[in-house]
Amino acid sequence: MSQSPSQTQLQSPSRPLKLAVLVGSVREGRFAPVVTRWFTEQAERHGQFEVDVLDLADFDIPLELPAMPPAMNPDLVRPAGMAELTAKLAAADAVVVVTPDYNRSFPASLKAAIDWHYAEWQAKPIGFVGYSGASGGLLAIEQLRQVFNELQAHTVRNYVSFPRYYQLFDADGTLREPAGPEGEAKVMLDQLLWWGSVLHDARRDRPFTPGR
């Protein structure tokens, strides 16, 4: 069993870290709000985070990128419909992505939101909460790790996964057997706290330069 950073004398930061919970699915009838609500409760209960839910369904995010994408144009002016999303991602110390599997990958809405940004991800820790019928979102998570690695972010090792999620939550959105997922969320949040604290101080004291 992986050891949580809290078991290795993790010290609390001087202020709560800003944790953005990014809801990746926007389709009609999605289950994402149920999973997001559950995870947000875990993050708030942890006590070391200021939690901000960013639901991609609330923002206007074009699928078409500009001719010079954000990675090549730090002065890019993004569409007004995503201005709030951009500002909150920039302010976040850590991000948790809530995602299903779509055809063995992750939603196009999530890829668009990621690709419209660049510096907002750099030198920040990323965690994942996945759900789907069979894999519990693991297929999406594995691909997202590669994407965020390209963007100079750090994905933490542990994650939360809900295979056959429709059997795990009751009609009110309550987990039938919460102990296991709650423990997994605690470990991931501890890792995000450690990496988020260290990288926050590093960005403050030594601005990140990707060298590309």
Domain of residue 42, CATH code: 3.40.50.360
**Residue 181 within a domain:** yes
Burial 117-128 (b: 16+ CB within 10 A, else e): bbbbbbbbbbbb
CA nearest neighbour of 155 among 132, 129, 136? 129
Mean pLDDT of the chain: 92
**Residue 118 within a domain:** yes
- CA–CA separation, 20 vs 12, rounded Å? 18
**Residue 43 within a domain:** yes
**Residue 162 within a domain:** yes
Q: How long a stretch of residues is the chain?
A: 212
Residues 6 or more apart whose Cβ sits within 8 Å of residue 211: none
**Residue 117 within a domain:** yes
**Residue 6 within a domain:** no
* Matching residue, tokens 């985070």: 49
pLDDT at res. 8: 40
- CA–CA separation, 112 vs 100, rounded Å? 15
Number of domains composing the chain:
1
Please report, for residues 61, 75, 192, the alpha-carbon distance to residue 86 in angstroms, rounded to integers and kept in the order given.
Answer: 11, 13, 21
**Residue 148 within a domain:** yes
Q: How far is CA 94 from the centre of its chain?
A: 7
pLDDT at res. 11: 55
Residue 198 DSSP code = H
Q: Is residue 190 over pLDDT 60?
A: yes
In this prediction, residue 15 has a pLDDT band, given cuts at 50, 70 and 90, of confident
The backbone torsions φ and ψ at residue 100, rounded to the nearest 5 degrees and listed phi first, read: -90, 175
State pLDDT tens for residues 134-155: 999 999 999 999 999 999 999 9
Query: How many CB atoms neighbour CB 74 within 10 A?
Result: 8
In this prediction, residue 99 has a pLDDT band, given cuts at 50, 70 and 90, of very high
The backbone torsions φ and ψ at residue 39, rounded to the nearest 5 degrees and listed phi first, read: -70, -40
Enclosing domain of residue 184: 17-25+32-66+79-205
Helices (H) and strands (E) in the chain, counts: 6, 6
**Residue 149 within a domain:** yes
pLDDT, greater one: 212 or 156: 156
Query: How many CB atoms neighbour CB 166 within 10 A?
Result: 10
CB 107 within 8 A of CB 24: yes
Q: Is residue 1 over pLDDT 60?
A: no
pTM higher than 0.85: yes
